[in-house]
Amino acid sequence: MKSAPRLSFARVSQAYGDEVAALLRKAQGRLHEAVASFVEEFHQGLTQASPGGTILGCLNSEELASVRRKQAEHWDMLLSPTLTPEVHYERALHVGRVHEMVGVDLPSLIDGYGLYHQSMHAALAGCGLDVGEQKRLAEALRQRLSLDTEARLVSHSSVEAETVATLIAVSKAIREASHLSDLLHGAIGALSTLDGILACVFSRPDAQGLLQIEAFGGEAGREYADAMQRHQAPLVNTSVDTVSGKGPAGRAWQTAEIQIADTYGADAHLRPWQADGIRLGFRSTAALPLLDDDGQSFAVMAVYSRWPGFFRAPQRQLLLRHVQQVLSHAVLRCEQGLVIPADLRRKYRQRVEEGAVRMLYQPIIDLRNGQVHHVEALARIESAQGELIMPGDFLPALGKAGLLSLFQAGLEQICRDRRAWLDMGLDIPVAINLPPDGLTQDAYRDILFETLSRWDLPPTHVMLEILETQDPADTLKRDARIAEFQRCGIQITQDDLGSGHSSLLRMHRVPFDAVKIDQGLVRNALEKPMRALEFIHHLTALAHAFDIPVTVEGLENEGLIEAVAILGADRGQGYGFAQPMPGEQLYAWRRDFEAAINIRQPRTALGALASCLLWDRQLTALSGWPDMVETFVRTPCTLRNYLDRLDPPAPQLVALLERNRACAVQGAKSSMYRRTRQELITRLSRDWVDNGRAGY
């Protein structure tokens, strides 16, 4: 809270001092007697007015008695003979801030000033002062009321300015964050600094529909989140049919509208959480549903205040709507990942900072010669119990600082392992994943070169894999950093090609040295094999058109390995070759490894499907040369090699292939050729789907 501006009190000096003090002492008995009627009249007027009636409705009987008592104390202060302007102004600022916290608006403030003036003027009659003295004291009290009102107006402006500053701070934090963890930390941290707010809690639903707290602000927010994690209070349910789904947060999720509870302790729907909330000082709460582009809730931000009725003030309603809008867009923009409870997020970050990072290595195989081309370093976090935690579980919990620490710890381990391999005569390049920010943050470059230099390792045997879900704000700096790395001999690989339209555009705009096809396409090969192979074939051809080698991830069996090799992929990675392994196991694995890939002699139905696809593309390319088509059709094909090797034989498939080849002489657009080709695809796809999990 900013300190109030200091004023000169010369203009109201006649409202204080010895002369006025003497008059007040002389009239004190009558003025003091008027306080009870003033307080009663003040509260009757406030009850009938709006929002005054709403404010009083937020208070219990004990609190209402306290308000009456404080109102009487303020009356007595205004009439105190010993009051100075400095003390008066400071007290009025405080009272004004309290009124702002509970939502007293300016019209109510002006009405209150009028009632004070009217009541004091009436009390002066018959107070034992002569006409001149009454006139002198009335003017002094008018000046005191004027200063009192001025201080309250200053408090109003101050609170309004603080609200605007908070709105700006929240927007700035959102604008500057590139990771969900940093986004929530910055936005919630900014919102939690607003005077009157005790806690902020961000939640998303898990698979059971329970809102898991993933981030919080304020010490009270931490204690509240801990209480829920310890099951002292139930997690909010997104279902309206449950008791824990009827509170403001549950209703906000269900209605997609902001929900406010003015009196935390008196709201029956908040009963499951009231014991902890009241202990922490919660007096009111607002729940903001974060909405997707279709207007559906996907998260809830709950905000708690120490003041009743806090969220009814117009400027705070505006703040809530602004936070709801900008935070919804920002969270959707980020890669959200799994729902990770706040305590688990904290543990993951702590383990990274403690250096509990373990690097495993998965070989990438050259599909043309069956040799190891390089290995990819894959980060894991080791839990306190020794369990290895997968990246998909912990990466969403790390912000900018956590990802940098992970990169630094991982690179240190890679250099240590690579030095050990060299000592054993094993010289294999290593690829390490670089966060998108790594191309625009100098810290990643500095750590990379410093660590390689310290371990006396050349950068030429390091490869960086980049997964960008969107272009950075500074694409020029990104491109300059890629060029800097490449000049040093570091190769840059685009990860997850085909995972979105933007990845194709990025391959066109950025000079990558290699690309990796998203393993999500490969997973589809079990359910829709031909469709998956079509995608892989087209993406491979597209990359090769830019003279970029292609690696296919997710090759978990012989069929997948065989198919992508036939379709022209350069390298492969997956459990079909090797699972990720510790660095100390790589030498022995490499010594015993061999891969026999013969694209002319497929041994699986998926490999045969890939051959069928490739043969059809070649036939189509020859459509303008009929003589060449006939020669091509009569040449023994890879698919026939597969059928000849089947045990037991498949004479029906052989006969179908022969009919298809006979029809192919008429060209790739021949209806009989297309029909028999589809029959072949259907038969081979069924064989693969029925037996694909075994890799046949």
Token pair recorded at residue 442: 């100098």
Mean per-residue pLDDT of the chain: 89
Q: Using 50, 70 and 90 to split pLDDT, how confident is the model at 696?
A: very low
Cα–Cα distances in angstroms (integers) from residue 179 to residues 185, 186, 406, 532, 667, in the given order = 10, 11, 15, 31, 54
pLDDT of 501 reads: 46
Cβ contacts of residue 104 below 8 Å, gap of 6+? 51, 52, 55
pLDDT higher than 60, residue 4: no
Handedness of CA 396, 400, 405, 408 (dihedral sign): positive
Strand partners, 514: 493
Report pLDDT for 695: 47
* Cβ contacts of 251 within 8 Å, gap of 6 or more: 240, 259, 269, 287
For the chain, domains (ranges, CATH) are: 10-163 (1.10.490.10), 180-339 (3.30.450.40), 347-592 (3.20.20.450), 605-694 (no CATH)
Instruction: Please give the average per-residue pLDDT across 346-372, as a whole number.
Output: 95
pLDDT at 484 over 60: yes
Average pLDDT over residues 615-642: 90
Q: Read off the pLDDT of residues 298-343 as tens digits, 9 standing for 90 and up.
A: 999 999 999 998 998 888 999 999 999 999 999 988 866 788 888 8
Q: What is the pLDDT of residue 33?
A: 81
Query: Average pLDDT of 158-176?
Result: 93
Alpha carbon distances (Å) from 334 to 57, 174, 192, 337, 501: 41, 11, 22, 9, 17
> Scanning the structure block, which residue is given the tokens 């050729």?
673
How do residues 368-423 score in pLDDT, each as one tens digit? 999 999 999 999 999 999 999 999 899 988 988 999 999 999 999 999 999 999 99
Tell which wins on pLDDT, 230 or 59: 230
Quote the CA–CA distance of 421 and 409 in Å, as a whole number. 19
Check: CB of residue 243 under 8 Å from CB of residue 272.
Answer: yes
User: Which tokens belong to 325?
Assistant: 């809008």
pLDDT band at 471 (very low <50, low <70, confident <90, very high): low
- Residue-wise pLDDT for 101-148, tens only, equals 987 777 777 777 788 888 888 888 878 888 898 899 999 999 999 999
Angle at 86 between CA 80 and CA 87, to 5 degrees: 45
**pLDDT, position 45:** 65
Work out the pLDDT band at 51, boundaries 50, 70, 90: low
